[in-house]
Structure 1
């Protein structure tokens, strides 16, 4: 894969908590899928307390040499070899707020999956379909063997940037 360029920069942190994010999404008339709000309200989801900017890139999985039916372990391994980094969970709702998305686009946020109330690991999606622009959550299956991602799906990875959060494993 050739060197990826910066697709967009997003500022995270700045003491935005879950309630402020949910309120901002509602104020901007962005739909929040129930599963997305569920994972936002877990202890694994956190927001930074100091504003910092991260650089993002948009990647189609086949650009990483991946084929249809690929799972998370393979996606993350291929991304790591290409110098791409996982995003903090806060990126999902912050990207939804900042991105005026074209119709019929769905982007998957490359992040460590967070378990929903049914204990199914999920990641955020940012999408624009007939019902409007929204923040969703995509179930990753019970195990990495069940992911079954399409090679033409578009993912958002982090190129650079650090953020600080008391419990963030992503520094």
Structure 2
């Protein structure tokens, strides 16, 4: 059995992202100014009343790691991933982080490998933002993920039910809290 390196004893990426200070329409306008493409699920998330923005700017430290880095060499469900992250001191991100992180992370490596998309799996090169799920409705998007396809940056929404098993190589973004709150 190979040695499993689990967070924080594994490679991971941290970023500090400034969030807030824009209305929803200003945020959408800025995404357009950055030439960021949005899929239908992301549009639904942004348009929903449950997607709110903060009037005040604040900074969030994010941690990017894989499902395997959380101790799941065979993959895990969303609930298992989110619960393990909390156990090791990471938190779910506010839903509004998605658009801000997309505008901040402009040098994301190419995710398209030329392979046809595999249905019901996170696409190659994508990074899913772990955030509170706005509704249990399986037809409503659960959150955002970031992707670069053919040189174009995407903010995409995704759907996954509670039975979906994420692969050990799937990347997630969590937030690191300071004294029980965002810094």
User: Structure 1 residues 159, 49: closer, same or farther in 2, change over 3 A?
Assistant: same
CA RMSD of superposed structures (Å): 2.3
1:114 Cα offset (Å): 2.9
Match of 1:155 in 2: 172
Unaligned 5+ runs, structure 1: 164-170
Quick one: distance in 1 between partners of 2:138 and 2:23? 23
User: Structure 1 residues 63, 6: closer, same or farther in 2, change over 3 A?
Assistant: closer
Count of aligned pairs: 160
Q: Helix, strand or coil: the match of 1:114?
A: coil
Unaligned 5+ runs, structure 2: 1-5, 112-124
In the alignment, does 2:69 pair up with 1:52? no
Q: Helix, strand or coil: the match of 1:55?
A: strand
In the alignment, does 2:152 pair up with 1:132? yes
Larger Cα-atom Rg? 2
2:97 equivalent among 69, 88, 91: 91
Give runs of aligned pairs for residues 1-80 of structure 1, distance below 5 A: 1-3=6-8, 7-14=14-21, 16-80=22-86
1:12 Cα offset (Å): 1.1
In the superposition, the TM-score normalised over structure 2's length comes to: 0.79
Quick one: distance in 2 between partners of 1:117 and 1:62? 27
